[in-house]
Amino acid sequence: MDARPLFIPVLLGTPRQGRMSEPVARLMVSELARRPGIETELIDVARIPLRLDDAGEATKDPTFSAQMMRSDALVIVSPEYNHGYSGLLKHALDTLLKEYIHKAAGIVGVSAGPFGGTRGIQDLLPVLRELGLVTIFWDVNFSNVQNVFDAAGALRDQAYLPRIDKFLQELVWMARTLRHGREQIALG
């Protein structure tokens, strides 16, 4: 088996002040970092220099581009805003394209209500498909997220960990499989 580590960053998909998606993203980074053969880092959409007077690949940030070019998979922490995903997340995702092709993606939904960001996840799937990302069939859904972490950002409910484990297990499998495909299997 290929001994090279996989690079799987976590994209925190909202800049909102007081965002509860941040402890979610940090938890995902922590769980990824514990897994052997995985390198990870947090990519905060609030810190990607994004233009508001232009959009698309012409506005790509070289650091974000390099991170995604290096990546084998992506975890997207996507809070649900008004039954959809964050506009800034979409704006950031739209700045790249070739960096994503045939790479794995998993979505972590976040909501203040009971549905764990499911509506936002469902809305985001066709976007990721068009960007060439291959989505996995596991999600993680953080419902009523304001009650999930303590004041220090530590997880209160350990029941999330088995779900995260299954999600990452599938994401890592897909990441390895697609890396093999990108490097070894020609199109046509």
Partner 1 sequence: MNHHADKLLHPTDPADAAAVDRDLGGIVEELHACPACGASASRRA
Site residues for partner 1 per CB under 8 A = 137-138, 159-160, 162-163, 166, 169-170, 173
* Rg of the chain in Å (alpha carbons): 16
CB of 167 to partner 1, least distance (A): 10
Rounded-to-integer distance, Cα 122 and Cα 106, Å: 12
CB of 59 to partner 1, least distance (A): 38
CB of 140 to partner 1, least distance (A): 11
Burial profile 50-77: b = 16 or more Cβ within 10 angstroms, e = fewer: beeeeeeeebbbeebeebbeebbbbbbb
Residue closer to partner 1 by CB (options 29, 168) is 168
Residue closer to partner 1 by CB (options 144, 169) is 169
- Write the Ramachandran bin of 117: left for phi over 0, alpha for psi from -120 to 50, otherwise beta: left
Residue closer to partner 1 by CB (options 94, 165) is 165
CB of 165 to partner 1, least distance (A): 10
CB of 163 to partner 1, least distance (A): 6
Residue closer to partner 1 by CB (options 96, 104) is 104
Residue closer to partner 1 by CB (options 11, 164) is 164
CB of 162 to partner 1, least distance (A): 5
Q: For the packed helices 160-184 and 21-33, what is the interaxial angle rounded to 10 degrees?
A: 60
Longest dimension (CA), the chain: 53
Q: Alpha helices, DSSP H only, in the chain?
A: 21-33, 62-70, 87-93, 118-130, 160-184
Rounded-to-integer distance, Cα 172 and Cα 184, Å: 18
Residue closer to partner 1 by CB (options 124, 168) is 168
Tokens of 169: 């297990």
